[in-house]
A and B are shown apart, each in its own frame.
Chain A
Amino acid sequence: EAGVTQFPSHSVIEKGQTVTLRCDPISGHDNLYWYRRVMGKEIKFLLHFVKESKQDESGMPNNRFLAERTGGTYSTLKVQPAELEDSGVYFCASSQYIGGEKLFFGSGTQLSVL
């Protein structure tokens, strides 16, 4: 069974540019989550999709971040325009059920904004 895949694995961009991160969840998983870890800080929740609907986006830092999940399959997280403080590792996770025991994480996208 394929796991959660994310790409790119690394992205280096300049301040003010746009970057789009992609996450492919495990097939059949309706729940898709985005988390991020900013340098030296905890991993923090960004948002939660159930199929194509945003169930909870309370962790999105500001309106420069836009997440989509068209068709309820893969998801994208776009940062436009990127700022220095957006640098960090962005993780995606998926699960079959809300509150289920298994939450599977991808290996993350390391974003560096220079």
Chain B
Amino acid sequence: ELKVEQNPLFLSMQEGKNYTIYCNYSTTSDRLYWYRQDPGKSLESLFVLLSNGAVKQEGRLMASLDTKARLSTLHITAAVHDLSATYFCAVATRDFGNEKLTFGTGTRLTIIP
């Protein structure tokens, strides 16, 4: 059974600082997603990482994937208050043509002014 471990669970950081959220998973996968969720809102897709060494950046967020280490990171650069949200990684697995996501526990990020 695929296990996805995400850490930290909670992260409180000051504006302007850098930090990284980690996502480890236990079996090989086709793709890895990062989602953001604001309270009461839908899961918003941030990044889809498809291959080893993939790196994607959007604003102050950068995601990377190391399939050999089965590790993805979400790096936050010079955090601002608007980035406060819960972030999830999710690993996609395929079985007989079906695909489903296995999620990490989420990281609740709070940016302190």
B-binding residues in A (CB < 8 A): 3-4, 9, 33, 35, 41-45, 48, 55-56, 59, 91, 93, 98-99, 101-108
Contacts and interface: CB of A to CB of B under 8 A. Distances in A.
A43 B88 contact: yes
B66 to A, nearest CB: 20
Most buried by A among B30, B95, B97: B97
Interface in B71-108: 88, 90, 92, 94-95, 97-106
A103 B100 contact: no
A9 B40 CA distance: 9
A59 B102 CA distance: 11
Given A4-B42, A107-B41, A48 B98 contact: yes
Contacts, number: 60
Contact of A56 (B41, B95, B104): B95
25 contacts: A3-B42, A4-B42, A33-B100, A35-B103, A42-B4, A43-B90, A43-B106, A48-B100, A55-B98, A56-B95, A91-B42, A93-B43, A98-B97, A99-B30, A99-B31, A99-B92, A101-B48, A101-B50, A102-B45, A105-B42, A106-B42, A107-B40, A107-B41, A107-B42, A108-B42
Contacts of A103: 33, 45, 101
Contacts of A105: 35, 42-44
Contacts of A43: 88, 90, 101, 103, 106
Contacts of B45: 102-104
Contacts of B43: 91, 93, 105
Contacts of B94: 99
A98 to B, nearest CB: 5
A-B CB proximity, top 10 nearest: A105-B43, A43-B103, A107-B42, A56-B98, A45-B100, A105-B42, A101-B48, A42-B103, A99-B99, A42-B105
